[in-house]
Structure 1
Amino acid sequence: MHLSKFDRINGVLDEEQVENWVAEYFHSLLNIFNAFFCKLEVEEAVSRMSAIPFEKLVLEQLAEEDEEVQELARCEIRQLAEIELEFMRAYL
Structure 2
Amino acid sequence: MDERTEHNRYTQLPPTVDPAAFVVEVPAFEDDRPAPPPIPPAAAPELVAATEFARGAGGPRTIRRTQIPAALVIAGVPIVIVAVIAVVQVLFAQ
TM bucket by the smaller chain? Answer: under 0.3
Larger radius of gyration: 2
Q: Which has the higher strand share?
A: 1
Greater relative contact order structure (CA < 8 Å, 6+ sep): 1
TM-score by length of 1: 0.27
Q: Which has the higher helix share?
A: 1
TM-score by length of 2: 0.27
